[in-house]
Amino acid sequence: MHRGARLAALRHLLRRLQQPLELPRSRPRARRPRLDAGGQRRHPPVVAGPVARVRCLQEVVIDGVRPTPPPARLPACRFRFPDPARADADGLVARGGDLEPGTIVAAYRQGIFPWPYDETALLWWSPDPRAILPLQALHVSRSLGRTVRRARFRVTLNAAFGAVIDGCAARKETWITPAMRAAYVRLHALGWAHSVEVWGPDQALAGGLYGVAVGGLFAAESMFHRGTDASKVAVVALVQHARRVGTSLLDVQVLTDHLATLGARAIPRAEYLRLLAAALRLRVAFAG
């Protein structure tokens, strides 16, 4: 979910490219143009050890759910992504393509997600190992449990998607380019992307997260906080809501120390793809 820390290394590597990142010509006999298999590198995901599991006894009350339309039917993706098994050692699968809704959702269905370098370098990733947060293994520390019990924050769903993605992008270095922001705001309007907002006692946005729901998958893209524990409360609310609606797979993509403290763990890509296939068979109304 947090990918900003690796942007500096990614920038250094991409400066060494000998060719621009662009969509190659379609191959003979191919009905659709292929995305070019990537060969550039970034640092591999961090793998953390096991985390003790603590049951969260307090429900986070979602104070408001802004009605969103059911996911709109999307035009077919114009591209054929390479098999994720063809990714390089750092998980780079492809480069090029576009950020049309059908392209992004097709990528998630294949275990791939966009992570651009800048407005000119659209890269697609499927890291091995892959980070997930098992929905029955949420870890809530004593201090976070106290924060939840005291109900210091008010939590909503889909109430301020644009403000959440702007909060996530408000870092010195961010992969949430203007094109990425526009693409996910569009996915939200079409019923595919969702946000969790955490509001402070002053009614200002204190934190939140956003991601994309496809069947029983929720792919968490990014989160932010302006108040202590606000992003963690957003994760607790997301996990509890996902359990209620029947989501089976919470993908957090790249493991970080912050996510590991909440119970996230890294699994082999092959195992992730098996879980993904099962999740995509489910019919889940995430914000219904």
pLDDT tens digit sequence for 82-112: 999 999 999 999 999 999 999 999 999 999 9
Predicted local confidence at residue 3, as pLDDT: 63
Calculate the dihedral angle through the C-alpha atoms of 5, 8, 9, 12, rounding to the nearest 10 degrees.
170
Question: How distant is the alpha carbon of residue 21 from its chain centre?
Answer: 23
Handedness of CA 232, 117, 181, 251 (dihedral sign): negative
Taking the C-alpha atoms of residue 10 and residue 25, their distance in angstroms, rounded to an integer, is 26
Predicted local confidence at residue 288, as pLDDT: 74
Predicted local confidence at residue 8, as pLDDT: 52
Predicted local confidence at residue 64, as pLDDT: 77
Domain ranges in the chain?
Answer: 130-280
Predicted local confidence at residue 158, as pLDDT: 97
Continuous segment of H or E residues that includes residue 46 = none
pLDDT tens per residue, range 131-168: 999 999 999 999 999 999 999 999 999 999 999 999 99
Domain 130-280 listed as CATH 3.90.1150.10:
no
Q: Which residues of 190-215 are buried (b: 16+ CB within 10 A; e: fewer)?
A: bbbbbbbbbbeeeeebbbbbbbbbbb
Counting as low any pLDDT under 50, the low residues of the chain are 12-34, 38-57
Predicted local confidence at residue 4, as pLDDT: 56
